[in-house]
Chains A and B, each alone.
Chain A
Amino acid sequence: MKILVAVKRVVDHNVRIRVRPDGSGVETNGVRMSMNPFCKHAVEAAVQLAEAGQASEIVVVSIGPKASNDVILTALAMGAHRGILIETDAALETLAIAKLLAKVVDEEKPELVLLGKQAVDDDSNHVGQMLAALTDRPQATFASEIKLSGDQLEVTREVDYGRETVALPLPAIVTADLRLNTPRNAALPMVMKARSKPLAVRPAAEFGVDLTPRLKVEKVSPPPERVAGRTVGSVPELVAIIAADVNAMEAI
């Protein structure tokens, strides 16, 4: 089985971001970037399937500026076999990303495509579902467990009411949630080895997809700020505050 994994380079999830004062966006210059955490779980899932002898090749693809090479290298160091960078400096919408990925699915014909459930910059949570639509494949989003038997995938999904298990015939699209696995940190030899694995760089324009944005971002603003209130010294004081709040609520 061939697996395609889509990985996105985003502002590192530990960075406290800053909105540009002119409202034009979030400051990304000079900010630490890394692989979107959900994508790491997707890569790990693919590598585990390969280690279990259930996948023969793992191809990783990232769409973004040249620097996105580094997240592909991270995935190669984790155990993926080959990388594709679709290079563009434009900020693409999720529909355009999904269309580019659909072209790659056309070319590579993977039985399974793994993605993160969401990218932690735009928090969209779209691309896997859109790719499933464009390729007419069944989908299982928010996966916390994946089992493969024959050409059937059994996926446990984290949903609002708890968890649910669904079965999908291959080829299929799965998006990873955080409890799917624990992504490995690649050891230094693997990092060295990753540099010699094939990595194709292709301009986004080559795919013949209309990348024009559909939406206009008018402005980006910081959320209302919360500031520290007061500290109370004892449980009875806290009880009085909670009691007053609850009584006020009942009055509504």
Chain B
Amino acid sequence: MSVLVLAEVDNGILSPATARVVAAASQLGPVDVLVVGPQSAADAAASIAGVAKVLVSDGSLLADSLTRLLLALTVRYQIVASAASTLGKDVMPRLAAKLDIQPVTDIVAIAAPNRFVRPIYAGNALETVEDSQAKHVLTFRASAFSPAAHGNAAPVEVLETPAHSAAKFIAAHRTESDIPDLATAQIVVGGGVSVGSAEGFQLIEKLGKTLGAAVGATRAAVDAGYAPNDWQVGQTGKIIAPDLYIAIGISGALQHLAGIQGAKKIIAINSDPEAPIVKISDVALIGDLFEIVPQLTAELEKLGLKR
């Protein structure tokens, strides 16, 4: 079955999630990639192993026009897939409805070419579904799949720009930082509302910097204005799968745990030995984060662990 993967492009740059989605989709058939973005992003996609062809368009990423672009292409493919990112979540169900297809989204494992595993109830259950429709619209949770290798040079075909969108893009509000991408980071340091202030959250950021880690936050910390919304980890935020997650002053609510189930190792720093996060962490240090974190950061700094 031929697959069209919608690439994840942010600010003109191909995001690392794309190579992961290509790896997942390659299990289902030969993969072409659609890049809605600049030529440089298309070239980056063409270098991903397993990609047969890249289609590039300078159209918009707004759901209605992007759906129209994808719809025109679907005649050539049996499967259209993307990451379960905010882009994929926005456009793929719209595309599926236009095709009269029930999509399967947020796939974390492929049991067979038409059998997929997806989490439900904030990851507290896993559902295995069989999709025997003629065409498939799928989104993959990128962090659940290892990235495809690089070193390919697939041909790039330029598409015509599709019709305009009824919606109009007005402005992007980005969180400017040089911190690694949360969804694909190897180490993540997360902070909760108990840091007490935006200044308090800098303790978390500083520890993150020392380890070259991405920084995450709970919804409560974001709601309080201590951290930007795109740092939120959980059911409503980013899903992470680092080798190491350090949860600081985080209780471990169901909805937060939904985002960290893929972490290989969890370290908790919490003043409450009964906190739910402590019950599921591999290592816990019980105590006051305001005492522990500065000391921890200083000692790790001394070791020069930053990668």
- Report which A residues bind B (CB closer than 8 A): 11, 13, 16-17, 19, 26, 93-95, 98, 120-127, 129-134, 137-142, 144, 154, 156-169, 177-179, 213-223, 226-239, 241-243, 245-247, 249-250
Complex A-B, nearest 6 residue pairs according to Cβ-Cβ distance, in ascending order? A130-B97, A133-B97, A214-B102, A229-B282, A129-B93, A126-B93
Would you call B121 and A239 a contact (CB within 8 A)? no
Of A26, A154, A159, the contact of B170 (CB 8 Å cutoff): A154
| CB proximity of B240 to chain A, nearest CB, Å | 12
Would you call A226 and B85 a contact (CB within 8 A)? no
Of A16, A132, A144, A154, the contact of B229 (CB 8 Å cutoff): A144
Would you call A216 and B132 a contact (CB within 8 A)? yes
| CB proximity of B115 to chain A, nearest CB, Å | 7
Q: In the complex, what distance in Å separates the CA atom of A129 from the CA atom of B165?
A: 15
Chain B hits for A16, CB < 8 A: 124, 254
Of B167, B211, B285, the contact of A238 (CB 8 Å cutoff): B285
CB proximity to A under 8 Å, residues B3-52: 10-11
Q: In the complex, what distance in Å separates the CA atom of A218 from the CA atom of B87?
A: 29
Q: Given A95-B97, A95-B101, A163-B229, are A218 and B129 also a contact pair (CB < 8 Å)?
A: yes
Chain A hits for B272, CB < 8 A: none
The answer to the question of B106 belonging to the interface, with a C-beta cut-off of 8 Å to chain A, is: yes
The residue on A at minimum CB distance from B232 is A158
| CB proximity of B299 to chain A, nearest CB, Å | 5
Would you call B167 and A168 a contact (CB within 8 A)? yes
- Report which B residues bind A (CB closer than 8 A): 10-11, 62-64, 67, 85-87, 89-98, 100-106, 115, 119-133, 165-175, 183, 186-187, 211, 219, 222-223, 228-230, 235-236, 238, 243-244, 246, 254-255, 261, 265-267, 269, 273, 278-286, 292, 295-296, 299-300, 303, 305, 307
- Pull 7 A–B residue pairs with CB atoms less than 8 Å apart, ordered by A: A11-B121, A19-B124, A122-B127, A124-B93, A132-B64, A228-B284, A238-B283
| CB proximity of A126 to chain B, nearest CB, Å | 4
Of A98, A140, A233, the contact of B167 (CB 8 Å cutoff): A140
Q: In the complex, what distance in Å separates the CA atom of A74 from the CA atom of B103?
A: 31
Would you call B280 and A130 a contact (CB within 8 A)? no
Of B98, B127, B174, B219, the contact of A133 (CB 8 Å cutoff): B98
Known A-B contacts: A138-B167, A158-B230, A215-B131. Give 17 more (CB < 8 A). Answer: A17-B124, A131-B97, A132-B63, A132-B64, A138-B63, A141-B89, A160-B86, A162-B228, A164-B173, A215-B102, A215-B130, A220-B120, A229-B284, A230-B284, A232-B283, A232-B285, A235-B299
Would you call B219 and A178 a contact (CB within 8 A)? yes
Q: In the complex, what distance in Å separates the CA atom of A220 from the CA atom of B211?
A: 38
Q: In the complex, what distance in Å separates the CA atom of A242 from the CA atom of B187?
A: 10
Would you call A94 and B102 a contact (CB within 8 A)? yes
Would you call B91 and A231 a contact (CB within 8 A)? no
| CB proximity of A185 to chain B, nearest CB, Å | 18
The residue on B at minimum CB distance from A247 is B305
Chain A hits for B104, CB < 8 A: 215
Would you call A161 and B172 a contact (CB within 8 A)? yes
Would you call A236 and B124 a contact (CB within 8 A)? no
Chain B hits for A11, CB < 8 A: 121
The residue on B at minimum CB distance from A95 is B102
Would you call A214 and B133 a contact (CB within 8 A)? yes
Q: Given A123-B120, A123-B235, A231-B284, are A218 and B128 also a contact pair (CB < 8 Å)?
A: yes
Chain B hits for A127, CB < 8 A: 93
Q: In the complex, what distance in Å separates the CA atom of A139 from the CA atom of B97?
A: 14
Would you call A167 and B105 a contact (CB within 8 A)? no
Would you call B105 and A229 a contact (CB within 8 A)? no
| CB proximity of B67 to chain A, nearest CB, Å | 7
Q: In the complex, what distance in Å separates the CA atom of A3 from the CA atom of B307?
A: 53
Q: In the complex, what distance in Å separates the CA atom of A219 from the CA atom of B235?
A: 22
Chain A hits for B169, CB < 8 A: 164, 166
Of A158, A178, A221, A230, the contact of B283 (CB 8 Å cutoff): A230
Chain A hits for B211, CB < 8 A: 242, 246
Chain A hits for B98, CB < 8 A: 133
Q: In the complex, what distance in Å separates the CA atom of A242 from the CA atom of B282?
A: 12
Chain B hits for A124, CB < 8 A: 93, 105
Q: In the complex, what distance in Å separates the CA atom of A185 from the CA atom of B119?
A: 31
Would you call A162 and B284 a contact (CB within 8 A)? no
Q: In the complex, what distance in Å separates the CA atom of A17 from the CA atom of B126?
A: 12
Which residue of A17, A158, A159, A234 has the most chain B CB atoms within 10 A of its CB atom? Answer: A159
Which residue of B11, B86, B266 has the most chain A CB atoms within 10 A of its CB atom? Answer: B86
